[in-house]
A and B are shown apart, each in its own frame.
Chain A
Amino acid sequence: MNELEEKRNQEENKNVEIRIKDVDMTFQDNRGNEVKALAGINLDIFKGEFISMLGPSGCGKTTLLRMIADLLEPTDGSIRVSGMTPKEIRMQQKFGFVFQQPVLFDWRTVRKNIELPMEIMYYTKADKKQRADEMLEMVGLTDFAEHYPKQLSGGMQQRVNIARAFGGRPEILLMDEPFSALDEFTKEKLHEDLLRIWKQTNKTIVFVTHNIQEAIFLSDRVCVLSPHPGRLSAVIDIDLPRPRTQKMKETLHFSELYGKIRNSFEGGSI
């Protein structure tokens, strides 16, 4: 019996990509007071999953993402990615990161921006070109390959950002409110694009957002974080079928999920 259970645990472990255990994060503010940003976070993220961190500002969702990416270290607790520390995974160049702002290099063309991670990873010239072509096509920017970022609209810049992140073939893609600065129409289009690309590549995506609808539309699971201190209030399965369509947003089930998420913020609705 015990053996069987252990075996099942191992099976499960195989599918766990990121294991967050008892993570606390404490910052010092300007006056030297300690501010608890995250308290007692426990979460397993599975391989190939699209998971969202949802919460109001100050709930520590970005902090959690940055800890996975090895941009921050937890004060307490541990984070393991495929059994290794975030630093080890980062050194193996397995992360992709999409910032809120496009963070493109002005002096590089769209193609060259997409090739940047590949250059850092020493891809051969032919590989780089082929992969960049693929990525350009994937985000629909083939005609803009030789343009410079400043010549593109905000939505197009963000698509370059996404193409750059996927281009380096990351195992795990971390996205920090990538669409929050875009208008509603561009956002919807990019949601569909992102889901299509995700399906093609089968990567694990950790997606930070403060938009409930966006979280439901994109994710397999939504982690609801509440502020002061940041803590995990609920993890909600989104059982909407895939591929997701804009029409689903008008269904009753979608509203139910919306309400469920809303009510799971601690202290009631926000």
Chain B
Amino acid sequence: MNRLLNKKWFSVVFWTLILVVAWETGAFLVAGTKRTPENILPHLYQIIGAAFSTNKVTSDQTALQIVLINAGQTLLRAAIGFLLGTVLGFGLALLMKLSGIVEKIVFPYLMLIQMIPILGMAPIILSITGSINTSRIIIAAILTFYPVATNTLAGFNSVEKEKHELMYIYAANKFTVYTKLLIPGSVPYFFTGLKISAPMAITASILVDTLQGDGGLGCMLSQSLKHAMSIYVFWLIIFFSAFIGIFSSYLMGVLELLFTPQKHAERKKEGK
């Protein structure tokens, strides 16, 4: 049993099975309470059925079309914000490493940003920018920025003293120390930051969607409850959002492997 549990595919199947059983139990219990709407927690097959149903839930779109089109919008904004936040976060980490003064000035603000409920500020950012698209990008960027900046800085600071001394003995200049030692040395930390922030950027984008009826998964979420669309669409969107959140993090893992050939090589060795 233990050996089976150690196999990756087995644990995935195992936990998925447990989730399905828990969900279905819940669905049966909720159905028994006679609440309205009765199917607030529908059976899984109903949700899957909704995904493949050709019935139009609005005037011209099926459930799946709605989800995919709006997911595209949400993801695009999240991706732009994510990229922006990544570039800014990395840049700031670099500045903080380059200058102790910058670090001393900026770091407290960085901590402060972390304490503010950024998502709660979405409405005010919306009223400042006046555009739901810009707000989505800004919120996603702010949420991405913090984990990337702090993790990358931690990565810079994690480089061992001996490695610095080695560069010193060869009289390497600052540029060389950064390009050959600090930046490559911080890559695993940088990607840790990205893995944390990628799903956050998507969540942010979805939540900002709910503020205004201008498309996007979040917007559909609130509409699916208020309007004629079935509860299945609501759950379909929830599942789909969860899926792209997980996928985004996974994608960062794949990117990391591309940028850290040594991990790839180690894995191959372990596989042998």
Give chain A's interface residues, CB within 8 Å of chain B: 69-71, 90-93, 95-97, 99, 101, 103, 105-107, 116-117, 119-121, 147-151, 168
- The answer for the CA separation of A120 and B172 in the assembled complex, in Å, is 6
Residues of chain A within 8 A of B180, CB atoms compared? 105, 116, 119-120
Contact in complex: B170, A103 (CB < 8 Å): no
Tell whether A168 pairs with B170 under 8 Å between CB atoms, given A105-B181, A106-B262, A148-B265.
yes
Residues of chain A within 8 A of B165, CB atoms compared? 71, 97, 99
Residues of chain B within 8 A of A69, CB atoms compared? 169
Contact in complex: B266, A117 (CB < 8 Å): no
Contact in complex: A99, B162 (CB < 8 Å): yes
- The answer for the CA separation of A96 and B171 in the assembled complex, in Å, is 11
Residues of chain B within 8 A of A168, CB atoms compared? 170
Give chain B's interface residues, CB within 8 Å of chain A: 160, 162-163, 165-172, 176, 180-181, 184-185, 187, 260-262, 265-266, 269
- The answer for the CA separation of A257 and B181 in the assembled complex, in Å, is 44
- The answer for the CA separation of A103 and B160 in the assembled complex, in Å, is 9
- Top 8 A-B residue pairs of the complex, sorted by shortest distance between their CB atoms: A148-B262, A103-B162, A97-B169, A120-B170, A120-B172, A148-B265, A107-B184, A91-B171
Tell whether A103 pairs with B166 under 8 Å between CB atoms, given A93-B171, A119-B180.
yes
Contact in complex: B261, A107 (CB < 8 Å): yes
Residues of chain A within 8 A of B181, CB atoms compared? 105
Residues of chain A within 8 A of B266, CB atoms compared? 148, 150-151
Q: Which residue of B lies closest to A117 (CB)?
A: B170
Number of A-B contacts defined by CB within 8 Å: 61
Residues of chain B within 8 A of A93, CB atoms compared? 170-171
Contact in complex: B163, A103 (CB < 8 Å): yes
Expressed in whole angstroms, the minimum distance between the Cβ of A14 and any Cβ of chain B is: 26
Tell whether A121 pairs with B170 under 8 Å between CB atoms, given A105-B181, A106-B262, A148-B266.
yes
8 contacts between A and B (CB under 8 A): A71-B169, A103-B160, A105-B185, A107-B187, A120-B172, A148-B266, A151-B266, A168-B170
The listed residue (B166, B176, B185) touching A97 by CB distance below 8 A is B166
Residues of chain B within 8 A of A96, CB atoms compared? 169
Residues of chain A within 8 A of B160, CB atoms compared? 103
The listed residue (B169, B172, B184) touching A95 by CB distance below 8 A is B169
- The answer for the CA separation of A149 and B262 in the assembled complex, in Å, is 8
Contact in complex: A107, B169 (CB < 8 Å): no
Expressed in whole angstroms, the minimum distance between the Cβ of A153 and any Cβ of chain B is: 13
Expressed in whole angstroms, the minimum distance between the Cβ of A122 and any Cβ of chain B is: 10
Contact in complex: B176, A120 (CB < 8 Å): yes
Q: Which residue of B lies closest to A98 (CB)?
A: B166
Residues of chain A within 8 A of B261, CB atoms compared? 107, 148
Contact in complex: B262, A107 (CB < 8 Å): yes
Q: Which residue of A lies closest to B179 (CB)?
A: A119
Residues of chain B within 8 A of A103, CB atoms compared? 160, 162-163, 166
Contact in complex: B171, A150 (CB < 8 Å): no
